[in-house]
Amino acid sequence: MLHSTQATRGMAVAPHSLAAQAALAILQDGGNAIEAMVAAASTIAVVYPHMNGIGGDGFWVISDPGQPVVAIEACGPAAAGVSCEFYRDRGMKEIPIRGPLSANTVAGTISGWQQALGISARWGGKLPLSRLLEDAIHYAGNGIPVTVSQYASTTMKLDGLADQPGFADAFLVDRHAPVAGSLFKQERLGKTLQMLVSDGLDSFYRGQLAEAIGADLSQLGIPVTRNDLSEYRARTRTPLHLRHSLGDLYNMTPPTQGLVSLIIVGLLDRINIGQYAPDSVEYIHLIVEATKQAFRIRDQYITDLDHMTIDPQACLSDEFLAPYAAAIRRDTALPWARGKGPGDTVWMGVIDGAGRAVSFIQSIYHEFGSGVVLPQTGICWQNRGCSFSLDAQHLNALMPRKKPFHTLNPALARFKDGRTMVYGTMGGDGQPQTQAAIFTRYAVFGQPLQQAITAPRWLLGRTWGQTSETLKLESRFSPEIVKGLHQLGHDVEVIGEFDETVGHAGAIVHYPSGTFEGGFDPRSNGVASGF
């Protein structure tokens, strides 16, 4: 756990230490939370390439004390030229998870950086883009040590990635995963980041860089076109808002599952989760059962916000939540169908000395996304659109310019006593579950942030690298906990002590006194840093 004093200019947490350090350096230079996050986002796109990149999407939830919380939706839609018929005409019954035809959505994250820096400018942010991207450019050109996480992920998924266009040149050494600790460079990506500095972030969509990207996409047979890029702009949204007994919680609007995260915590508040011992059989059981209720709502309603049949904010009302809270059984596990599957992502948080806070998430979906690396720019393109269904009646049916469902969701809380908290994690179905664990452990039971994050966690369903739908428990849970959950009817599977399956979480709290508390996930390569 990291504590800092009132003189602190801010704190950052990330699942890779170099990204947190990049953010911290910006705070030390007098930058604000948004500027620090852009530095972290660009850096982690280089140093954690299996989890995210500039060929993917991003989401922001931003708090400025005394002002309404705002959100940025930086997720790209499906290309104008793709549809269910597009794939059926090619003899496909589903969208492939790798290769050019899996890369069917626009990459939105760079536009999100641009939108966020517009807000930063209104805060008085003045640091040049060259400074914000400086660390990322350095690490791309000069190299970084390969993490154990990157080595393991590359090795595990090598069969499906090795033959994708450009992948071997960018991410392999003699057709093998680069070993942990070896020097890893991405010189083409470094030059692309330098072009963003010289030409501006908008050039990714409407400039010289966009021309190079568009030419590569066309050459590789990726259905996203130069025109799809030019039409795209990230959008500022009003985030979803849950009124909790301890304060106000915020999360991202659909197409993300931010609503799911808020519903779980809202249900737990209504059944008074604080009456049970933390990390007891009853505590874990009730969060798992609240998760099942929230997933029911998710699978019935959540899709592209422009295609939803219900107001997602209305799903957080007492009237809407009451029957779902009543459906939670304290004495038995209700049946469970299946989750939404994997999500290889990074969550990061920054709060500056003025109390301005950013909760941020950035992703390319599966490990290395589509696996396709654009030859001129070194950009690895996401495969988020492979989550679309080719069933025209499905909630998440593929349509031209429609946004796919996202498991991504960055969380933020403003407590009644004046504290501000940013928190989140990577990990598909696990994101809302881990958010519920961290929030309740810290806010309801008063555990220190680091304890709340380090303590053993669980996962109902699937996340990155997983196919089973069991209730997975880290092996640090006692045999009594495992047995108790099994007796309640849960299909329990024991996983590793500190297992990446349950995600890379983090959190920061800013206190009214001006002090900070931060925690990072020992399951990651991360750190929480303050100055």
**Catalytic residue IDs:** 345
Residues 6+ apart with CB under 8 A from 190: 46, 136, 137, 140, 141, 378
Q: Is 421 strand, coil or helix?
A: strand
- Cα 376 to Cα 4, 195, 280, 369, 465: the distances in Å are 44, 12, 53, 18, 30
* Cα distance between the two ends of the chain: 14
Q: For the chain, what percentages of helix, strand and coil (3-state, to nearest 5) are there?
A: 40, 20, 40
- Cα 526 to Cα 35, 47, 229, 504, 505: the distances in Å are 19, 11, 33, 8, 9
430: amino acid identity, one letter: G
Where does 1-76 have alpha helices with state H?
A: 17-28, 33-47
Q: State the Cα–Cα distance between residues 12 and 3, nearest whole angstrom.
A: 12
| Residue 69, token pair as written in the block | 């919380």
Specify which residues 15 forms β-bridges with. none
Ramachandran area for residue 106 (φ above 0: left; ψ -120 to 50: alpha; else beta) = beta
Hey, how many other C-beta atoms are within 10 angstroms of the C-beta on 80?
15
